[in-house]
Amino acid sequence: MHLGIIANPHKNGSAATVLSLIDTLEKKGISTSLEDDTAKLIDGVTGIPAPELAQQCDVVAVLGGDGTMLDAAHRIGPTDTPVAGINIGNLGFLTSCTDDELDIFADALLDLSYKVVPRILLKTTITHQDGSIEEDFAVNEITLSRGQTGRLISIDAFIDGALLNHYHADGLIVATPTGSTAYSLAAGGPLISPIASAFVVTPICPHSLSNRSLVLDDSSVVELTTAEESECPALYSIDGREVRELPRTSRIKVEKAGHKLHLIRLRDRSYFATLRQKLRWG
């Protein structure tokens, strides 16, 4: 087996965890390669770009937290290669284990005592007035928001071509089941099983209290535009990454992506146990 490693270079303990993981894996006969920025943490090591890493390796391990996992997914791009998150610190929603469980992780790779869980992603297509198109994908969500201004924005939302609502709010989130535990949850959205064939539309601080989250079948197509009466331009971001202004004449289409994120979960670990821990239930 050959394992690729991507680490958050800005997180304390990354270099030590990378070295520890390499040593643990080598002792068990598992070879490794490092992604470009990760290789800079280790003297004398040459890395390879993230998309090539995913192509050349059987599994990609991402060291950091859920934010690092989101960033790595975008850098890797579409791939069927399973991704395992190793959290430097507490266990996250997207990670398989923590950095003090490297032996357990290595053994799981050797005896295949893990499960690969496909997570649906969202494809985003922004069409501008001049006909130009921007495409991307989201692991957690795409968000339209009012930005720094104190004014609300007005958003027209359509489902499969039919008007859903004229939202007057701080913003609107379209989230995957994976993203249902992130910004959507903070905005009052529902928890959704990570393997559900669905996604959710959640308004952020809507002007009308009757505006609630809506769970949609994953075959649905959502289209969003800034309404003419909006008091200010909308800003949009994908997975909390770069924030950009959406021109009033542009239109965002959100639908299920053609590829999935294949996450590794150790067989003795439960998503719902992580949910209880992170949300402090019981």
**Residues flagged as binding site for NAD(+):** 66-67, 140-141, 151, 168, 170
Give, in order, the Cα–Cα distances in Å from 11 to each of 61, 152, 209, 220. 16, 36, 40, 38
- β-bridge pairing 59-64 and 83-87: parallel
Beta strands in the chain (DSSP E): 2-7, 31-34, 59-64, 83-87, 97-98, 114-127, 133-138, 141-145, 153-159, 162-169, 171-175, 198-204, 214-217, 222-226, 234-238, 243-246, 251-266
Cα–Cα distance measured from residue 159 to residue 157, given in angstroms and rounded to the nearest whole number: 7
Phi, psi values for residue 111, rounded to 5° = -100, 10
Q: Does the annotation mark 66 as catalytic? A: yes
Q: Of 115, 111, 110, 81, whose CA–CA distance to 1 is shortest?
A: 110
Report how far residue 240's alpha carbon sits from residue 228's, in angstroms, rounded to the nearest whole number. Answer: 26
Q: Closest Cα to residue 234, out of 242, 245, 249?
A: 245
Helices 102-111/14-27 angle, 10° precision? 40
Is beta strand 2-7 parallel, antiparallel or unpaired with respect to 59-64?
parallel
The closest of 223, 220, 120, 236 to 176, measured between CA atoms, is: 120
User: Pick the catalytic residue: 37, 43, 66, 156?
Assistant: 66
Q: Which residues form the catalytic set?
A: 66
